[in-house]
Amino acid sequence: MEFRPCIDIHNGHVKQIVGGSLRDAGDTAQENFVAERGAAYYAGLYRDAGIRGGHVILLNAADSPQYAATKRQALSALEAYPGGLQAGGGITPETAGEFLEAGASHVIVTSFVFRQGRIDYRRLEQMRDAVGKERLVLDLSCRKTGDGYRVVTDRWQRETQERIEEPLLERLSGYCDEFLIHAVDVEGKAEGIEEELASLLGAWGGKPMTYAGGVHSYEDLELLKKLGRNRLNVTIGSALDLFGGALSWEKVSEMCKSD
């Protein structure tokens, strides 16, 4: 298990939000924490600690009046830690190059490769060809439904027909280097992990995969390690002391390194 830190940016500020509360209309979200420092500060912390593979996420839509400010913050983080962070949020084949040139090791993509609730494999191939399989992370963040976990797109506001299951993961693994999966129902609530999802993901054991959502205690971290068979990497946001929570980010990093 690896600790994969996050730098979520909304309306030009580093924030921690309740994931399901994000709305494009009015650029609103239920906030858990708004940082006084910029994104480059957090990137510097992770750089100095030698923690790689964290993600910088732009939470505003590209047509938002707030997008430019959010993008500036994201680029400043990538420039502060070249090669150490991934970048995601509304990225397309046309825009990916700017983030890679700014220092992103990978780009994270969801919405572009979906159309009418299904994966558009032509678009997925375009994305892969634009950046290379080795620099592409597919975000399959999902929400629990009556028939399993369905992928949600457009900043988690739109439910798709694609379910998280082994055949889908096997198919998509041919197009990307890693997966990032937020458990949207518990994201930002710091009330415990989505145990069923963690078990499902840990059972696969294919590509590197980062789980995010609900970790709020060191016991949660140990449980995730157990349910995920020590195969899942982890992102923790609101529960970290960096973002107003109780968990030491340095202790979390050390716990993730241990067997």
Give the residue-averaged pLDDT of 57-71. Answer: 93
State residue 51's pLDDT score. 96
Strand ranges for the chain from DSSP E: 6-10, 13-17, 31-34, 54-58, 85-88, 106-109, 114-115, 118-119, 136-139, 142-145, 148-153, 158-163, 178-182, 209-212, 232-235
* 94 falls within a domain: yes
* 1 falls within a domain: no
Residue 120 has pLDDT above 70, yes or no: yes
State residue 38's pLDDT score. 97
* Average pLDDT over the chain, rounded to an integer: 92
The two tokens of residue 61 are 């839509």
What are phi and psi for residue 152, nearest 5 degrees?
Answer: -120, 140
State residue 17's pLDDT score. 74
* 30 falls within a domain: yes
State residue 186's pLDDT score. 85
The two tokens of residue 91 are 């990225």
Between CA 119 and CA 41 the distance in angstroms is: 36
* 22 falls within a domain: yes
Counting the structural domains of the chain, the total is 1
State residue 233's pLDDT score. 97
* 124 falls within a domain: yes
Residue 210 has pLDDT above 90, yes or no: yes
Q: Residue 10: name the closest of 44, 60, 52 by CA.
A: 60
* 111 falls within a domain: yes
State residue 26's pLDDT score. 72
Q: What is the DSSP string of 21-89?
A: G-BTGGGB--EEEE-SS-HHHHHHHHHHHT---EEEEE-S-TTSTTHHHHHHHHHHHHHHSTTTEEEES
More confident residue, 207 or 27: 207
* 72 falls within a domain: yes
Domain hosting residue 86, numbered range = 6-257
* 192 falls within a domain: yes
CA–chain centroid gap for 28, Å, is 19
State residue 28's pLDDT score. 74
State residue 247's pLDDT score. 96
What's the pLDDT tens digit per position in 151-194? 999 877 889 999 999 999 999 999 999 999 999 988 766 679 99
Q: Pick the range with the lowest mean pLDDT from 21-30, 203-212, 225-234.
A: 21-30
Q: Pick the range with the lowest mean pLDDT from 19-23, 66-70, 77-81, 141-145.
A: 19-23
- CATH code, domain carrying 223: 3.20.20.70
